[in-house]
Amino acid sequence: MRHNFHLTGHAFRLRPVDEQDAAFIVALRQNASRFLNTGPASAADQLAWLERYFERQGDFYFVVEAIRRKTREGLISLYDVDSRNGTAQWGRWVLNPGSSGAIESALLVYRFAFDELALGEVRCRTLADNFSVIAFHDSCGLQRTGAPVMIEFDGKQRPAIEHTLPRAEWPHVMQRLDRLARRIASSIDDHWPSAKVSP
């Protein structure tokens, strides 16, 4: 949906996706890992997808930007927002190769969910063979819900691991992620290498 939420961290920020990001989204997703659904193959197709997204309620799509370098570093979303039950899922998470924005982009999307939208629980689902992202969620202090769940991936059902973060655990997870984000931000200087995907 069209929204005007901006979240700023120590070294990275989130801003709403807009039409000018279409070519960037295509290029970034085409260079992404095999664990990301195949998306639109052209900027025109991506623009058509964005037009549908802008009309969809409960779906917040962000560009991850490096504050000092003023570069687009990746994408992240909070979607399936259910205000009545206070739940949502986050995903569509992809970063430029070499970006240091993983921790802070996760921190900011959780901050958005709990502090801006006042949700009670956020979940994320990761393909069961995407071991590095599963380990990331584990290291953040999220809880696995149990046995793998099945999700649709490129038209096929595949097993995935579901993690949840309830509001009661958010302050503890926030402190952990914020501490790490501060450490990363302090190590970044003007010569920080970051691969750039150009539209």
Q: Which residues of the chain have pLDDT under 70?
A: 189-199
Contact 37, 55 (CB under 8 A): no
What ranges do the domains of the chain cover? 7-187
The full 3-state SS of the chain, as one line of letters, equals: CCCCCCEECCCEEEEECCHHHHHHHHHHHHCCCCCCCCCCCCHHHHHHHHHHHHHCCCCEEEEEEECCCCEEEEEEEEEEEECCCCEEEEEEEEECCCCCCHHHHHHHHHHHHHHHCCCCEEEEEEECCCHHHHHHHHHHCCEECCCCEEEEECCEEEEEEEEEEEHHHHHHHHHHHHHHHHHHHHHCCCCCCCCCCCC
What pLDDT does residue 32 have? 80
| Options 3.60.15.10, 2.60.290.11, 3.40.50.300, 3.40.630.30; CATH of 7-187 | 3.40.630.30
Q: What is the pLDDT of residues 72-121, one digit of tens each?
A: 999 999 999 999 999 999 999 999 998 999 999 999 999 999 999 999 99
What pLDDT does residue 83 have? 93
What pLDDT does residue 189 have? 60
Residues in the chain: 199
β-pairing verdict for 121-127 and 87-95? parallel
